[in-house]
Amino acid sequence: MIYIKYFGHFSSKLGLSEEYLDWENGGNTETLLEILRSRNELWEKTLAEYEVFRVVVQKRICHQVTEIVDGDEIGILPPVTGG
């Protein structure tokens, strides 16, 4: 089981701020995104490859495909601007 937290506009757009997902078979960040995108058209468009967002595994921003193991905490972050 992995814990996923959706930040910013993702929680309102997807209607979900957090969830637990069965992760018995394991995988990586791409596997996770494929699973989420396959839910329906809204998920597919919101998490499309051309959209700008970051995946965080265990509080570390992933800049490349990263392994996810059972028990990990995942974050889906929108783009952030600063001043």
The structure's pTM equals 0.92
Degrees, nearest 5: CA angle 67-69-72:
105
Q: How far apart are CA 44 and CA 8, in angstroms?
A: 18
Residue 2 has phi, psi (to 5 degrees) of -120, 155
Domains of the chain: 2-77 (3.10.20.30)
3-state secondary structure the chain: CEEEEECCHHHHHHCCCEEEECCCCCEEHHHHHHHHHCCCHHHHHHCCCCCCCEEEECCEECCCCCEECCCCEEEEECCCCCC
- 14-59: pLDDT as tens digits: 999 999 999 998 999 999 999 999 999 999 999 999 999 999 999 9
